[in-house]
Structure 1
Amino acid sequence: MEKKSEINGHAMPSSASTDRMLEQSAQKSPRDKVLAFLKRNLLVILTVSGVLVGVGLGMMVRNMHLTRAQMTYFAFPGEMLLRMLKMIILPLVVCSLISGAASLDTRSLGKLGGIAVSYFLVTTLIASGIGVALAFIIKPGVGAGALNTNNLGLESVTTNKETTDSFLDLARNLFPANLVAAAFRSVPVGTDTDGMNILGLVLFAMVFGVALRKLGDEGEELIRFFNAFNEATMVLVSWIMWYVPFGIMFLVGSKIVEMEDVVLLVTSLGKYIFASILGHIIHGGIVLPLIYFGFTRKNPFSFLSGLITPFTTAFATCSSSATLPSMIKCVEENNGVDKRISRFILPIGATVNMDGAAIFQCIAAVFIAQLNNAELNAGQIFTILVTATASSVGAAGIPAGGIITIAIILEAIGLPTNDLSLMLAVDWIVDRTTTVVNVEGDALGAGILHHINQQEMKKQQQQGKQEDEELAEVRVEAVANVQAEEETSPLVTHQTKEATPEAIESVL
């Protein structure tokens, strides 16, 4: 039996070298162990420290009353981080999906894809249910009827987008007319606007990967090219990761400096903020870990402990897409998830799996209904659940990407969209926990698929062993019969002895 070691809850094959390392680590002094821990988790410690220092720095600089130009200079290192992460998204998504789809055979691709889509839909529907339930329990909009955008000095957000158009746009984005344009444009209501159309690129990359595999030997060279491109991109990601702590410090600090009257916002919209963050804690801290444990029977928190860096990046950047590079790196290196699975599932998850967004969208819809003293019937509540689940698929993985999708829900249940600016005012608070839950759902999905894949491989190996054993038994019996025949039949023995060389050659 081959020994198994575990990396953050995932079984990994053990070897003599890893056994020796374990023995050496047992003999290390406490000082050496502390140094080894610091070295192993240096990036995580630096990233978390970057957030804390950024908060302190932001509070200090906030009292200095910087000019608009000075604020721009202060935010510059954080802006550079976002630009680096966005720069790497396109090659990472396209190459990882093409190489991932090409490395899996069509049957397993279909099975894994089916499980992934089911997982994404079910978790998003549960998230929507939690959001609606909390909104009715906490009632964030009750008693806030006097609150409007004029009280907070906010500009109104207008949208003339119909619900039908939103779902048609989802289909339009799936099939971009121009792949090059899709790298920096999406298609709302039939017209191109700025913003990467990741959904269209994801579908194209998956189908293209399957097509390359179907080509056989002819497609091998192109598959190797995309594999090499993918690995080179991951090297770039590992370099960018060391800039993350410094960039995050200024990213968080600049957001604190830019804040308007926080006290007024929190007192006015405190119940809405509380309901949204509580929903994210329940879904991310209880529901998703329970689903992971139900499938794998492993500790979900040991798995999540290897993902502190991407969670911190998600908290600071408010972008699922920008967190994708660090998520792929950490899921593979810290949790031992198969590259073929992580690079296939995580880009899809970053595009279509928005559990955190579904929670705050549902709470926002009910909040605006309560704000306008509108009683929601069972049909409207069901519409909110379904529309939030469906529209979160098309939500952009960028800061404030979910705000526009709230307009779709409001249009679907016949509520005015002029109160959306209230959501926008506190989106910078809620969006942080939203993004963390979004990327957590993606990571745990990859862990579940990795576990299912391992179980399938074990079954195949066991079946292979059984077949080998059966064949071995058949061979033993056949040899015994031949020997018995040689001993008892003088005719066969006589023929074997007198066989000519030509006869032997023809038999062979």
Structure 2
Amino acid sequence: MEKKSEINGHAMPGSASTDQILEKGSQKSLGEKLMEFLRKNLLVILTVSGVLVGVGLGMMVRSMNLTKAQMTYFAFPGEMLLRMLKMIILPLVVCSLVSGAASLDTRSLGKLGGIAVAYFLVTTLIASGIGVALAFIIKPGVGAGALNTNNLGLESVSSNKETTDSFLDLYATDYKMVAVGNDTNGTTLYQKVPYGTETDGMNILGLVLFAMVFGVALRKLGDEGEELIRFFNAFNEATMVLVSWIMWYIPFGIMFLVGSKIVEMEDVVLLVTSLGKYIFASILGHVIHGGIVLPLIYFGLTRKNPFSFLSGLITPFTTAFATCSSSATLPSMIKCVEENNGVDKRISRFILPIGATVNMDGAAIFQCIAAVFIAQLNNTELNAGQIFTILVTATASSVGAAGIPAGGIITIAIILEAIGLPTNDLSLMLAVDWIVDRTTTVVNVEGDALGAGILHHINQLEMKKHQQEGELSEVRVEAVANVQAEEETSPLVTHQAKALEAMPEAIESVL
């Protein structure tokens, strides 16, 4: 019987000679074992080292009092990393989703999508609840009423965006006043009308929806669509090769990315003393959700060690911490989830691009804390209806939040508008966003990865179930064939043979 080995908590097919390989491995010297460990984990070690060296380098360069131009030159290698990761997002998202949707039948796609949406919705709602609860327990805005943007020398952040814009993913929305007639006194009446404006960047949510629908359409074409599906599969594999090359630049790029952020920092002591409780509440929320809630959900659904699964994802987590972008972390996340954790390519390449776009647990936590913080800052008592509005709006609007640095700040404006609070204190959030956004992004991508692991586990259970059904049908077919060979003409056997002919073949996987 075929033996199974496990990679970070996921069963993988192995050969019968596994025991022999283990015996040989135990005979290796300590030096050989150390070299093998270094070879396997070199990228992880280099990436983590890049962050630490970047902190030291930033501290050292900070004392040199660089000019703005010199700071830009210093940050260039880190900017190169961001540009390379952003370059790969478009082909990666489109090709992986087209090939993923085309490799799954429509019924499986619906089931897979349904489970994913339920998981994303429930985890984001829990995250919002944690954020609101912590904000009321820690009370970060109480006693900070004297604090305003002038104390920190910040510019005010204006938001010309309404709640509906988030649901419609209209981040390029602006408003104009259109005359609609006169009232009885002859005064001209105006209405505020939304209109789309041109903006830089990609509409990732639109790309995700298009790629999924296009993949389903190719599958419906049958034989005519096969060639195009093969093209997207090949394109996808070529993109993953590019990703593997870029990943070796990540440690170097991260070093300058982190270093440049430290060099650009304003008066950190003033920020931390004035907004320390807000920063603490946000990071504590991320630790609770990412370190306890998400692993418990994973363990409850799979009965496997979540930390064993997460240990294979140190590189994407470090990338998330350094870049503050779920989208930029997507290439390394797909690669590590497949290679280190053995997640099915059809699952990972279908669900991770969607998760990077719509699943923002970390963002929901800090947005809820920020909303309550601003209410406390303005001495506003929130009633039950407003708290419920914060929960629902944060959960729903995180779907449309951009997977980019400071993407959640605009979403906080939507929550504030929904509960009738002023948005002029948003600049306080922006002042410390570069701190909070790091743990936010790590929790965002952790939620996506564990979701892929849960779907992979459910898929494996379904495959085993169908394999057992297939074995049972084979036994019954043999029995019928033997009876027919003896020219048995019993009406019961004839009826059973017809029923078996009508039975559909067992499919490889329902997902």
Report if TM-score (shorter chain) is over 0.5. Answer: yes
Is residue 59–residue 256 contact of structure 1 (8 Å, CA) maintained in 2?
A: yes
Is residue 182–residue 200 contact of structure 1 (8 Å, CA) maintained in 2?
A: no
Q: Does 1:501 align with 2:507?
A: no
Deviations 1:446-468 (A, max 9, x none): 0000000000000000111xxxx
Q: C-alpha displacement at 1:388, in angstroms?
A: 0.1
Q: C-alpha displacement at 1:230, in angstroms?
A: 0.1
Q: Determine the C-alpha separation between the residues in 2 that align with 1:40 and 1:189.
A: 52
Q: Structure 2: 5+ residue runs without aligned partners?
A: 171-183
Q: Relative to structure 2, which stretch is displaced further, 194-203 or 227-236?
A: 194-203
Q: Determine the C-alpha separation between the residues in 1 that align with 2:190 and 2:119.
A: 29
Deviations 1:259-311 (A, max 9, x none): 00000000000000000000000000000000000011000000000000000
Residues 131, 35 of structure 1: alpha-carbon distance in 2 compared, 3 angstrom cutoff:
same
Residues 364, 184 of structure 1: alpha-carbon distance in 2 compared, 3 angstrom cutoff:
farther
Q: C-alpha displacement at 1:90, in angstroms?
A: 0.2
Residues 433, 490 of structure 1: alpha-carbon distance in 2 compared, 3 angstrom cutoff:
closer
Q: Determine the C-alpha separation between the residues in 1 that align with 2:140 and 2:505.
A: 95
Is residue 142–residue 370 contact of structure 1 (8 Å, CA) maintained in 2?
A: yes
CA RMSD, Structure 1 to Structure 2 (Å): 8.1
Q: C-alpha displacement at 1:18, in angstroms?
A: 4.5
What is the TM-score of this pair, normalised by structure 1? 0.89
Is residue 295–residue 306 contact of structure 2 (8 Å, CA) maintained in 1?
A: yes
Structure-2 residue corresponding to 1:410: 416
Is residue 332–residue 339 contact of structure 1 (8 Å, CA) maintained in 2?
A: yes
Q: C-alpha displacement at 1:238, in angstroms?
A: 0.1
Is residue 59–residue 253 contact of structure 1 (8 Å, CA) maintained in 2?
A: yes
Q: C-alpha displacement at 1:480, in angstroms?
A: 10
Q: C-alpha displacement at 1:435, in angstroms?
A: 0.2
Deviations 1:363-387 (A, max 9, x none): 0000000000000000000000000
Pair member with larger Rg: 1
Q: Does 1:163 align with 2:166?
A: no
Is residue 361–residue 402 contact of structure 1 (8 Å, CA) maintained in 2?
A: yes
Q: C-alpha displacement at 1:107, in angstroms?
A: 1.1
SS in 2 for 1:503: coil
Structure-1 residue corresponding to 2:29: 29
Is residue 86–residue 322 contact of structure 1 (8 Å, CA) maintained in 2?
A: yes
Q: C-alpha displacement at 1:431, in angstroms?
A: 0.2
Q: C-alpha displacement at 1:392, in angstroms?
A: 0.4
Is residue 480–residue 493 contact of structure 2 (8 Å, CA) maintained in 1?
A: no
Residues 18, 146 of structure 1: alpha-carbon distance in 2 compared, 3 angstrom cutoff:
same
Q: Relative to structure 2, which stretch is displaced further, 271-280 or 27-36?
A: 27-36
Query: Number of paired residues?
Result: 496
Residues 65, 181 of structure 1: alpha-carbon distance in 2 compared, 3 angstrom cutoff:
farther
Q: Determine the C-alpha separation between the residues in 1 that align with 2:196 and 2:127.
A: 30
SS in 2 for 1:11: strand
Q: Relative to structure 2, which stretch is displaced further, 384-393 or 29-38?
A: 29-38
Residues 435, 186 of structure 1: alpha-carbon distance in 2 compared, 3 angstrom cutoff:
farther
Structure-1 residue corresponding to 2:368: 362
Residues 181, 314 of structure 1: alpha-carbon distance in 2 compared, 3 angstrom cutoff:
farther
Residues 481, 186 of structure 1: alpha-carbon distance in 2 compared, 3 angstrom cutoff:
farther
Q: C-alpha displacement at 1:193, in angstroms?
A: 1.8
Residues 76, 421 of structure 1: alpha-carbon distance in 2 compared, 3 angstrom cutoff:
same
Structure-1 residue corresponding to 2:143: 143
What is the TM-score of this pair, normalised by structure 2? 0.88
Is residue 182–residue 196 contact of structure 1 (8 Å, CA) maintained in 2?
A: no
Residues 148, 298 of structure 1: alpha-carbon distance in 2 compared, 3 angstrom cutoff:
same
Is residue 366–residue 440 contact of structure 2 (8 Å, CA) maintained in 1?
A: yes
SS in 2 for 1:488: coil
Q: Determine the C-alpha separation between the residues in 2 that align with 1:460 and 1:123.
A: 30
Q: C-alpha displacement at 1:163, in angstroms?
A: 1.9
Q: Relative to structure 2, which stretch is displaced further, 445-454 or 490-499?
A: 490-499
Residues 377, 25 of structure 1: alpha-carbon distance in 2 compared, 3 angstrom cutoff:
same
Residues 3, 185 of structure 1: alpha-carbon distance in 2 compared, 3 angstrom cutoff:
farther
Q: Determine the C-alpha separation between the residues in 1 that align with 2:494 and 2:432.
A: 94
Alignment of structure 1 residues 166-177 onto 2, 5 Å = 166-169=166-169
Is residue 142–residue 377 contact of structure 2 (8 Å, CA) maintained in 1?
A: yes
Q: C-alpha displacement at 1:476, in angstroms?
A: 9.6
Residues 195, 22 of structure 1: alpha-carbon distance in 2 compared, 3 angstrom cutoff:
same
Q: Structure 1: 5+ residue runs without aligned partners?
A: 171-177, 465-469
Q: Relative to structure 2, which stretch is displaced further, 348-357 or 474-483?
A: 474-483
**Greater helix share, 1 or 2?**
1
Deviations 1:231-257 (A, max 9, x none): 000000000000000000000000000
Residues 181, 165 of structure 1: alpha-carbon distance in 2 compared, 3 angstrom cutoff:
farther
Is residue 459–residue 510 contact of structure 2 (8 Å, CA) maintained in 1?
A: no
Is residue 413–residue 423 contact of structure 2 (8 Å, CA) maintained in 1?
A: yes
Q: C-alpha displacement at 1:488, in angstroms?
A: 15
Q: C-alpha displacement at 1:187, in angstroms?
A: 14
Is residue 185–residue 194 contact of structure 1 (8 Å, CA) maintained in 2?
A: no
